[in-house]
């Protein structure tokens, strides 16, 4: 089987999300990559070094600069003449693009896979991760998005991919990129952080969130996350949100502070290796999944904890 | 201006799903069903656009006969009329997108607003598929929608922040949680909704083949986490963190 992997990048470097997809793709067969964007030579060179990669298709055109699905989907469809499967990370980009490709190819997509059972059979979570379905695809071509935390990351060195330019498909002319606001953070990115400190509604205010969560995260070198309740209340920006409708994370250590543990939140973090919960309610559902729990008032516990680390 | 809003009947988000003993799926017999939460946000947005040039809101649902309850809820919120496409068998996003395309071809809405995903299958595909089939622009994960003449400007929630795009109409929008706070239907509006028109159709009426492409071989519970320990105080927690190598 020949697979085509969407390379997630920021115009300069390959994003980590791509590496897990390469691992999933290598379980299906030969791995080819697609680097689409504008001025992406450096990204292509970096992509070619990923272990296990064969060909790197490069599509360099202004139409692909912001990965608009309307423009990149026809490009992928063109390349699918020569590939049996298309895999993208289940990032906002991957989720935006892959279904459009699937529809153009008249194929049903398999979203957010957790494992590759065989060439046509995969597992994926449904009902906010409360059930795992094994699905078999009857389509000739497979269109798949991959849950990054479910696969090991491919090595970024050691590959000897060959770079090849592909014919561009131009601008469909129905959409225009206007601009973006990317939250700046010096902390590790949530989806790749080894440790995450996450705060919930119990923090009470945005000021308290930063006053209590940030220093602890800095002490641990951790990324900062938040529950949907904390985000909705405006304590933290929405790209901090961990859960079914936010980011799915699986760090080594997840510290849930003042988070009750609604199923929406658990769906985003219950595959973490170790879960630590701090909550004043000893019956909070979060304690049912936590490896280490501490019952008490977070306003007293956090300053003490940060001080003692 | 006409807006089409597809809505789905799903297991209520407060209900913990029970997996059938034979592993064939989730047990939906005698459990509370509701409108998919993202679809409520889509309906609400369409209603809010009524002050801004939207003249008619058509809601559509594809699924078992009982989906008409979901459509009545949307009508009670403020939609004008409904189309029910009855299929007692499960229809996948690709089939739904094809049916919606057929309805769009007939109804010619300027905008289709969908939820970003359904909380049962968690697929996050239908809106994008519909946009692809129609060859029109798509704005997924919308947190802000602004209509201006023959275009719509949408702010989208993306990894790391937000992004703004302008689409030519007709266009497809899928909505995220933070777009709005859906209204509750008032009792008089629930009564009024009973007399609003609802067309009954089947996939065959549109000549669309909705046979599934994916076979679900089994559905199982996720691996259970083993029970943890509770520590008594911060000192004990710090000691644990040190043994784990998280802190020096």
> How confident is the model over A34-86, as pLDDT tens digits?
999 999 999 999 999 999 999 999 999 999 999 999 999 999 999 999 999 99
Distance from CA of A176 to the nearest CA of B (A): 5
Reading the block at residue A258, the tokens are: 């003042």
d(CA A80, CA A84): 7
How distant, in Å, are the alpha carbons of A103, B69, B85, B99 from that of B65?
Answer: 27, 9, 8, 16
pLDDT of residue B224: 85
B76 by Cβ neighbours in 10 Å (0-12 / 13-18 / 19+) ranks as buried
B125 three-state secondary structure: coil
Reading the block at residue A143, the tokens are: 């269109």
pLDDT at A183 over 80: no
Encode pLDDT of B129-160 as tens digits: 999 999 999 999 999 999 999 999 999 999 88
| CB within 8 Å: B214 and A136 | yes
Tokens 């980011």 belong to: A247
pTM value? 0.94
d(CA A248, CA A241): 9
| CB within 8 Å: B166 and A178 | yes
B128, B141, B215 ranked by CB distance to A135: nearest:
B215
Report the chain B residue with the minimal C-alpha distance to residue A140: B213
Terminal-residue alpha carbon distance, chain A: 51
d(CA B104, CA B169): 13
B162 by Cβ neighbours in 10 Å (0-12 / 13-18 / 19+) ranks as buried
Span of A84-88, A191-195, A206-210, B188-192 with lowest mean pLDDT: A191-195
B125, B157, B225 ranked by CB distance to A238: nearest:
B157
| CB within 8 Å: B228 and A291 | yes
Report the chain B residue with the minimal C-alpha distance to residue A237: B161
d(CA B144, CA B152): 10
Question: Which chain B residues are within 8 Å of A293, Cβ to Cβ?
Answer: 228-231
Question: Which chain B residues are within 8 Å of A309, Cβ to Cβ?
Answer: 238, 241, 247
Report the chain A residue with the minimal C-alpha distance to residue B92: A108
A131, A134, A232 ranked by CB distance to B26: nearest:
A131
Report the chain B residue with the minimal C-alpha distance to residue A89: B159
Question: Which chain A residues are within 8 Å of B244, Cβ to Cβ?
Answer: 253, 274
Tokens 């946009």 belong to: B131
Question: Which chain B residues are within 8 Å of A174, Cβ to Cβ?
Answer: 135-137, 167-168, 171
In this prediction, residues B68-77 reach a mean pLDDT of 98
Identify the bridge partners of residue A224 per DSSP, sorted by sequence position. A197
Return the closest-CA partner of residue B71 out of B200, B160, B236, B171: B200
| CB within 8 Å: A134 and B246 | no
Kindly indicate the confidence band of residue A276, based on its pLDDT and cuts at 50, 70 and 90.
very high
Tokens 């080894």 belong to: A194
Question: Which chain B residues are within 8 Å of A232, Cβ to Cβ?
Answer: 177-178
Kindly indicate the confidence band of residue B104, based on its pLDDT and cuts at 50, 70 and 90.
very high
Peptide bond preceding B183: is omega within 30 degrees of 0, i.e. cis? no
pLDDT at B115 over 80: yes
Distance from CA of B192 to the nearest CA of A (A): 33
pLDDT of residue B248: 59
B122, B161, B228 ranked by CB distance to A111: nearest:
B122
Question: Which chain B residues are within 8 Å of A256, Cβ to Cβ?
Answer: none
The most confident of A233-247, B165-179, B216-230, by mean pLDDT: B165-179
Kindly indicate the confidence band of residue A185, based on its pLDDT and cuts at 50, 70 and 90.
confident
| CB within 8 Å: A95 and B124 | yes
Tokens 């692909």 belong to: A64
This model of the complex carries an ipTM of: 0.95
Angle separating helix axes B126-134 and B93-107, nearest 10 degrees = 50
| CB within 8 Å: B125 and A245 | no
Reading the block at residue B125, the tokens are: 């595909």
A287 three-state secondary structure: helix
For B243, list phi and psi in degrees, rounded to 5.
Answer: -65, -30
Interface A-B: count of C-beta contacts within 8 A: 242
Ordered alpha helix ranges (H), A110-249:
206-220, 228-232
pLDDT at B178 over 90: no
A99, A191, A276 ranked by CB distance to B129: nearest:
A99
B11, B143, B215 ranked by CB distance to A138: nearest:
B215
pLDDT of residue A246: 86
Encode pLDDT of A111-169 as tens digits: 999 999 999 999 999 999 999 999 999 999 999 999 999 999 999 999 999 999 999 99
Average pLDDT, chain B: 95
pLDDT of residue A65: 96
Give the number of other Cβ atoms within 10 Å of residue A186's Cβ. Answer: 5
In this prediction, residues B30-35 reach a mean pLDDT of 96
Between B245 and A109, where is the model more confident?
A: A109
Calculate the CA B65 to chain-centre distance.
Answer: 18
Indicate which of A63, A73, A125, A180 best probes the interface with B, i.e. most B CBs within 10 Å of its own CB: A180
d(CA B32, CA B47): 26
| CB within 8 Å: B138 and A294 | no
B163, B168, B237 ranked by CB distance to A180: nearest:
B163
């Amino acid at each position: 089987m020949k697979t085509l992997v969407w390379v997630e990048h920021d115009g300069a470097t390959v994003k980590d999300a791509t590496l897990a997809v390469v691992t999933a793709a290598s379980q299906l067969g030969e791995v080819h990559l697609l680097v689409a964007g504008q001025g992406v030579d450096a990204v292509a060179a970096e992509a070619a070094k990923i272990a296990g990669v064969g060909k790197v298709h490069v599509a360099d055109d202004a139409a692909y600069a912001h990965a608009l699905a309307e423009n990149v989907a026809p490009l992928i469809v063109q390349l699918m003449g020569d590939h049996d499967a298309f895999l993208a990370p289940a990032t906002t980009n991957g989720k935006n693009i892959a279904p459009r490709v699937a529809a153009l190819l008249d194929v049903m997509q398999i979203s957010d896979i957790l494992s590759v059972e065989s060439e046509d059979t995969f597992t994926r979570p449904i009902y906010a991760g409360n059930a795992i379905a094994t699905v078999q695809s009857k389509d000739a071509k497979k269109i798949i998005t991959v849950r990054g935390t479910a696969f090991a990351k491919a090595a970024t060195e050691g590959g000897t991919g060959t770079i090849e330019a592909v014919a561009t498909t131009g601008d469909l002319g129905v959409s225009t990129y206007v601009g973006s606001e990317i939250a700046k953070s010096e902390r590790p990115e949530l989806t790749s952080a080894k440790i995450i400190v996450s705060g919930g509604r119990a923090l009470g205010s945005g000021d308290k969130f930063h006053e209590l969560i940030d220093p602890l995260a800095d002490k641990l070198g951790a990324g900062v996350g938040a529950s949907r309740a904390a985000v909705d209340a405006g304590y933290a920006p929405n790209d901090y949100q961990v859960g079914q409708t936010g980011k799915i994370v699986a760090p080594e250590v997840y510290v849930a502070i003042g988070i009750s543990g609604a199923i929406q939140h658990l769906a985003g973090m219950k595959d973490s290796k170790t879960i630590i919960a701090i909550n004043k309610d000893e019956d909070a559902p979060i304690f049912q999944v936590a490896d280490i729990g501490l019952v008490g008032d977070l306003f007293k516990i956090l300053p003490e904890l940060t001080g003692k680390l | 201006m006409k807006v089409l809003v597809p809505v789905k009947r799903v297991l209520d988000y407060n209900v913990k799903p029970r997996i059938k003993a034979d592993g064939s799926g989730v047990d939906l017999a005698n459990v509370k069903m509701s409108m998919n939460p993202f679809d409520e946000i889509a309906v609400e947005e369409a209603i809010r656009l009524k002050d801004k040039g939207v003249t008619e809101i058509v809601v559509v649902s594809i699924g078992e006969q009982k989906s008409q309850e979901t459509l009545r809820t949307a009508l009670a919120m403020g939609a004008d009329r409904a189309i029910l496409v009855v299929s007692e068998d499960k229809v996948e996003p690709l089939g739904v997108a094809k049916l919606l395309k057929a309805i769009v071809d007939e109804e010619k809405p300027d905008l289709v607003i969908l939820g970003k995903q359904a909380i049962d299958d968690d697929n996050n595909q239908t809106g994008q598929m519909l946009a692809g089939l129609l060859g029109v622009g798509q704005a997924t994960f919308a947190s802000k929608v602004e209509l201006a003449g023959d275009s719509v400007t949408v702010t989208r929630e993306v990894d790391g922040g937000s992004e703004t795009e302008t689409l030519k109409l007709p266009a497809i929008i899928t909505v995220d949680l933070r777009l709005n706070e859906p209204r509750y239907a008032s009792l008089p509006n629930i009564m009024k909704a009973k007399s609003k028109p609802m067309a009954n159709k089947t996939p065959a009426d549109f000549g669309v083949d909705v046979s599934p492409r994916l076979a679900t071989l089994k559905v199982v519970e996720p691996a259970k986490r083993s029970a943890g320990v509770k520590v008594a105080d911060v000192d004990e927690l710090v000691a644990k963190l040190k043994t784990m190598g998280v802190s020096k």
